[in-house]
Amino acid sequence: MTDVRVTPWQDGDPVPPELLAGIQARRPNGELIGIDRVLLRSVPLATGWNGLLRRVRSEFTLKLEYLELIMLRVAVLNGAEFEWRVHHPVYLSAGGTEAKAAALRNESIDARFGPEERALIALTDQSTRHVQVDPSVIEDLKRLFGESETVEAVATVAAYNMVSRFLVALAI
């Protein structure tokens, strides 16, 4: 984190203990990562961010493998390598494969992805690149996942575009 554009929060800097504990609870071994330390420069932001992303990652009914696929594709499209490094191992442990992860870095998506994954990638690509999403993509998602998980997929794309834009802008 030597090139980060703001000074990251340091251990011992003032911060509400319950906020720090909540962020640490989301991380393996309670270890803060770069984005956490930058977010802690704004208590209101860190509080809201932690709550939102905790719910996206752990309370949505959409399979974790699909959530992580979306996160990896957003990372690729926005050039957020930090985001890729954080989510790549989670994607693999959730059922994704190394071959599919590598294919997510390609412009075109090939037949190794099933219809559900292709629909999620189409959503991610259109929403990330153009904001507008073709109605047929949403209809495909609703047919494949139902309305609740379609909403969760759209929200995941939106949330992780927020994450990647924050990471890239501040060189995290």
CATH number at residue 164: 1.20.1290.10
Mean pLDDT of 91-106: 97
In a domain, 38, yes or no: yes
Q: Which of 108, 120, 105 shows the shortest CA–CA distance to 156?
A: 120
Query: Is 11 part of a structural domain of the chain?
Result: no
Tell me: do 84 and 28 sit in the same domain. no
pTM of the model: 0.95
pLDDT at 2 over 90: no
Shared domain check, 142 and 93? yes
- Sign of the Cα pseudo-torsion (90, 58, 69, 38, in order): negative
Res 151 pLDDT > 90: yes
- pLDDT score, position 113: 97
Co-location of 73 and 97 in the same domain: yes
Residue 1 has pLDDT above 70, yes or no: no
Residue 3 lies in a domain: no
Task: Give me the number of domains the chain comprises.
Answer: 2
Residues 87 and 46 in one domain: no
Domain that holds residue 47: 17-58
